[in-house]
């Protein structure tokens, strides 16, 4: 249309929102006498319809009031009508409603397809307009109200509606084929897991002996229906080309007795879902693997530099561990992205001191290496579950951070702490773009200060590279002062790893696909505590612990400035509380574990670990 109009010196506009006041004003400025709508998708508002002096008129491809709504040309064929037409009517704000000015009838032949019918209707529409437009202009057109008792309405169609139900009579199957044959997406059925499109068939009589969908003859290719059968003239498999039925029979080795029908996937129902976890030895990776394996429905393929936290899982036949570095083992990763169903790239530096100490390494690993994995997922259409982070909200001032409405607030560039948040945010945005632009199936999740056994390690805490709770536990184990940065009044919502992993498990299960293209905060808004409170509760639990006597005396608290503790590039987050409405609503998830219980279990794990290390002389 645009080409035709441009060639004739006519301006073309394609507004996003035709009823917008800006467009109303522009259209009013043109002072139109009359307004026409031809297959226009949007409904026109009362204000817009009031602009043209002689009113607004729509040309609809059916004999109104029958077949109001979408795709009338296809629907009349699906329903085996013998006649349709084209109608010009006055527009109201309701679809295909309003007084009829005139119509032309169009006969539907037995051989008719949607394309040939479309052409006939277009020609009839041209004749109709040639007759009626002058009458509209000179005021002699006669308007007749639509007879509501005759009205019918049909909705839109999607390619999936082209699936053939072989249990229907042969004539109905034939009608569907001609209603959606080229250039529409086509009627189809499955032979195993191969889809076959049927471009032209004809209904033939056949005694009802075979199960519908059965191939009863291969030359000509004939398929049994609920009553009668269809003979196929032209068809195409989803990996092939438009071809004669004879060629298709040869290419697909079709034989009498084979049956077409619903898709049967190659994957047997017993096949477990394969999950690829990069960084499987990490805090989330190892807890999640345990949960997945316990369900019995998943196989885990994992890569990491080490497997020291995974010893309890290594013997499980559904757990496949490979030692390696994601920045080196690229082929392994690409191969496993192709092989697996779900991909979780969990490799990242996630301890704040490293954001300040090694910002480039954070960028290279957290952003660059993960981007590669994201691209593999996009290339192979694999479901990606990406660990975003609570840190993306930065210094957001909302009471509760909401995935869809909260602003992501970062400090200035010289505050290098934000390189982690910024890298993660950029990946969130890249993934979102791959999802909306190229159909990548994805879910982003944002852990909020998960704690529990195996969060970092006492060794990592020793070099400063750990999250706060592990660091505080190390202080107790070593008898060094617990250091409270900038007063210790900053708060976090500490979330037990069991709760977090349960939420993640539900995201992986993805019932009814409800997690697709979603972002989930995973945190416990009720467990909001300051660092001072954390230090206090840890002390209480430590003093009451049966192994207390094996550790040195308490060295107390020490207040330090952030700059002295982390260096100049640090900037803190004062509060960070998640809204978890989305996880509650879509996953039915609710955190269960109290802060005290969680702190106790984390402490217990590390104290046992420290005792074992002392015994082994580590």
Q: Which of 483, 498, 506, 541 binds ligand UGA (CB under 6 A)?
A: 483
**Residue 545's CB: how many other CB atoms inside 10 A?**
16
Q: Which of 72, 394, 447, 569 binds ligand UGA (CB under 6 A)?
A: 447
Give SS3 for 355. helix
For residue 284, state whether it binds ligand UGA (rule: CB under 6 A): no
Beta carbons of 299 and 272 less than 8 angstroms apart = yes
Stretch touching ligand UGA by CB under 6 A, among 140-148, 404-412, 488-496, 539-547: 488-496
For residue 390, state whether it binds ligand UGA (rule: CB under 6 A): yes
In the residue annotation, 576 being an active-site residue is answered as yes
Stretch touching ligand UGA by CB under 6 A, among 32-40, 144-152, 230-238, 463-471: 463-471
For residue 108, state whether it binds ligand UGA (rule: CB under 6 A): no
For residue 286, state whether it binds ligand UGA (rule: CB under 6 A): no
Stretch touching ligand UGA by CB under 6 A, among 17-25, 239-247, 479-487, 582-590: 479-487
For residue 334, state whether it binds ligand UGA (rule: CB under 6 A): no
Question: Which C-beta is closer to ligand UGA: that of 384 or that of 455?
Answer: 455
Q: Per the residue annotation, which of 391, 403, 528, 600 is the catalytic one?
A: 391
Would residue 55 be called left, alpha or beta, if left means φ above 0 and alpha means ψ between -120 and 50 degrees?
Answer: left
For residue 444, state whether it binds ligand UGA (rule: CB under 6 A): no
For 258, how many CA atoms within 13 A lie in the half-sphere containing its CB? 15
Give strand ranges (E) for 42-119: 56-60, 68-69, 83-90, 100-107
State in angstroms the smallest separation of the CB of 600 from ligand UGA: 18
Question: Sign of the CA dihedral 316, 320, 322, 327?
Answer: negative
Q: What is the DSSP letter of 325?
A: -
Question: Which C-beta is closer to ligand UGA: that of 114 or that of 537?
Answer: 537
- Contacts of residues 245-251 at CB distance under 8 Å and 24 or more positions apart, as own/partner, are 245/220, 245/221, 246/219, 246/220, 246/221, 248/196, 248/221, 249/218, 249/219, 249/221
In the residue annotation, 13 being an active-site residue is answered as no
The residue assigned the tokens 């009579």 is: 169
Helix residue spans in 37-182 (DSSP H):
46-49, 72-78, 114-138, 170-180
**What gap in Å lies between CA 131 and CA 136, rounded to an integer?**
9
Q: Which of 215, 468, 501, 507 binds ligand UGA (CB under 6 A)?
A: 468
Report the alpha-carbon angle 314-295-455, nearest 5: 55
Q: Per the residue annotation, which of 60, 467, 483, 582 is the catalytic one?
A: 60
Q: Which of 187, 232, 531, 538 binds ligand UGA (CB under 6 A)?
A: 531
Question: Which C-beta is closer to ligand UGA: that of 128 or that of 362?
Answer: 362
Q: Which of 120, 287, 336, 492 binds ligand UGA (CB under 6 A)?
A: 492
For residue 521, state whether it binds ligand UGA (rule: CB under 6 A): no
How many residues in the shown chain lie near ligand UGA by CB under 6 A?
21
**What gap in Å lies between CA 475 and CA 557, rounded to an integer?**
10
HEC profile of 186-245 = CEEEEECCEEEEEEEEEEECCCCCCCCCEEEEECCEEEECCECEEEEEEEEECCCCCEEH
**What gap in Å lies between CA 359 and CA 350, rounded to an integer?**
11
Binding mask 553-572 for ligand UGA (x = CB under 6 A): -------------------x
For residue 178, state whether it binds ligand UGA (rule: CB under 6 A): no
Question: Which C-beta is closer to ligand UGA: that of 64 or that of 535?
Answer: 535
For residue 455, state whether it binds ligand UGA (rule: CB under 6 A): no
DSSP sequence for 369-414: IHHHHHHHHHHHT-EEEEE--GGGGBT---SSB-TTT---B---TT
State in angstroms the smallest separation of the CB of 325 from ligand UGA: 21
Question: Which C-beta is closer to ligand UGA: that of 65 or that of 285?
Answer: 285
Beta bridge partners of 529: 492
Beta bridge partners of 493: 528
State in angstroms the smallest separation of the CB of 351 from ligand UGA: 6
Stretch touching ligand UGA by CB under 6 A, among 18-26, 243-251, 291-299, 486-494: 486-494
**Residue 427's CB: how many other CB atoms inside 10 A?**
24
State in angstroms the smallest separation of the CB of 411 from ligand UGA: 13
The two structure tokens encoding residue 79:
């329903």
Stretch touching ligand UGA by CB under 6 A, among 6-14, 46-54, 332-340, 466-474: 466-474
State in angstroms the smallest separation of the CB of 280 from ligand UGA: 18
Q: Per the residue annotation, which of 471, 575, 576, 577 is the catalytic one?
A: 576
Q: Which of 44, 484, 501, 519 binds ligand UGA (CB under 6 A)?
A: 484
Stretch touching ligand UGA by CB under 6 A, among 122-130, 141-149, 383-391, 546-554: 383-391
For residue 580, state whether it binds ligand UGA (rule: CB under 6 A): no
Q: How many residues are there in the chain? A: 618
Residue from 163, 175, 167 nearest 262 by CA? 163
**What gap in Å lies between CA 30 and CA 23, rounded to an integer?**
11
Beta carbons of 218 and 176 less than 8 angstroms apart = no
Question: Which C-beta is closer to ligand UGA: that of 120 or that of 417?
Answer: 417
For residue 577, state whether it binds ligand UGA (rule: CB under 6 A): no
**What gap in Å lies between CA 308 and CA 327, rounded to an integer?**
20
Stretch touching ligand UGA by CB under 6 A, among 52-60, 125-133, 483-491, 537-545: 483-491
In the residue annotation, 17 being an active-site residue is answered as no
Residues belonging to the active site: 60, 391, 576
Interface residues with ligand UGA (CB under 6 A)?
350, 352, 389-391, 447-450, 467-468, 471, 483-485, 488, 490, 492, 531, 572-573
């Amino acid at each position: 249309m645009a080409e035709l109009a441009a060639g004739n010196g006519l301006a073309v506009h394609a507004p996003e929102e035709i009823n917008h006041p800006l467009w109303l004003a522009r259209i009013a400025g043109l002072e139109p006498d009359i307004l026409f709508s031809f297959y226009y998708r949007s409904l026109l508002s009362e204000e817009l319809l009031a602009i043209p002096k002689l009113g607004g008129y729509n040309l609809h491809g059916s004999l109104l009031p029958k077949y109001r709504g979408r795709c009338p040309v296809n629907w009349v064929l699906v329903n085996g009508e013998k006649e349709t037409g084209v109608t010009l009517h006055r527009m109201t704000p309701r679809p295909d409603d309003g007084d009829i000015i005139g119509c032309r009838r169009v006969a539907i032949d037995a051989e008719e397809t949607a394309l040939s019918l479309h052409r006939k209707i277009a020609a009839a529409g041209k004749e109709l307009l040639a007759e009626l437009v002058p009458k509209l202009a000179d005021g002699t057109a006669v308007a007749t109200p639509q007879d509501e008792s005759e009205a019918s309405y049909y909705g839109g169609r999607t390619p999936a509606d082209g699936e053939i139900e072989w249990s229907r009579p042969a004539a109905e199957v034939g009608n569907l084929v001609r209603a959606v044959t080229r250039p529409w997406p086509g009627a189809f059925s499955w032979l195993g897991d191969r889809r076959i499109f049927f471009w032209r068939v004809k209904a033939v009589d056949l005694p009802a002996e075979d199960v519908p969908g059965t191939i009863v003859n291969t030359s000509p290719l004939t398929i049994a229906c609920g009553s009668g059968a269809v003979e196929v003239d032209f068809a195409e498999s989803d990996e092939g080309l438009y071809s004669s039925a004879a060629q298709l029979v040869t290419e697909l080795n079709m034989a009498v007795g084979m049956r077409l029908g619903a898709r049967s996937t190659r994957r047997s129902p017993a096949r477990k879902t394969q999950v690829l976890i990069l960084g499987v030895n990490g805090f989330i990776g190892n807890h999640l693997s345990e949960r997945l394996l316990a369900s019995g429905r998943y196989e885990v393929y994992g890569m990491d530099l080490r497997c020291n936290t995974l010893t309890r899982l290594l013997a499980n036949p559904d757990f496949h561990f490979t030692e390696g570095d994601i920045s080196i083992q690229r082929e392994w990763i690409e191969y496993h992205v192709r092989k697996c169903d779900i991909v979780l790239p969990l490799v990242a530096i996630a301890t704040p001191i490293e954001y300040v100490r090694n910002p480039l390494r954070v960028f290279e690993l957290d952003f660059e290496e993960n981007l590669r994995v994201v691209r593999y997922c996009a290339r192979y259409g694999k479901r990606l579950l990406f660990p975003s982070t609570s840190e993306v909200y930065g210094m957001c001032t909302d009471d509760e951070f909401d995935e869809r409405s909260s602003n992501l607030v970062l400090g200035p560039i010289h505050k290098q702490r934000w390189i982690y948040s910024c890298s993660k945010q950029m990946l969130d945005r890249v993934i979102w773009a791959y999802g909306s632009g190229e159909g990548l199936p994805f879910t982003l999740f944002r852990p909020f200060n998960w704690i529990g056994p195996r969060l970092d390690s006492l060794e990592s805490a020793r070099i400063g590279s750990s999250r706060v709770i592990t660091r505080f536990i190390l202080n107790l184990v070593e008898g060094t002062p617990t250091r409270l940065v900038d007063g210790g009044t900053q708060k976090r919502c500490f979330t037990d790893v069991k709760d977090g992993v349960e939420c993640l498990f539900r995201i992986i299960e993805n019932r009814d696909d409800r997690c697709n293209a979603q972002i989930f905060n995973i945190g416990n808004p009720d467990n909001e505590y300051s660092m001072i409170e954390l230090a206090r509760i840890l002390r209480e639990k430590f003093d009451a612990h049966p192994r207390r006597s094996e550790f040195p005396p308490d060295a107390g608290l020490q207040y330090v400035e952030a700059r002295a503790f982390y260096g100049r590039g640090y900037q803190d987050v004062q509060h960070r509380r998640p809204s978890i409405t989305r996880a509650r609503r879509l996953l039915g998830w609710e955190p269960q574990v109290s802060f005290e219980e969680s702190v106790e279990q984390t402490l217990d794990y590390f104290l046992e670990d420290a005792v074992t290390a002392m015994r082994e002389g580590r």
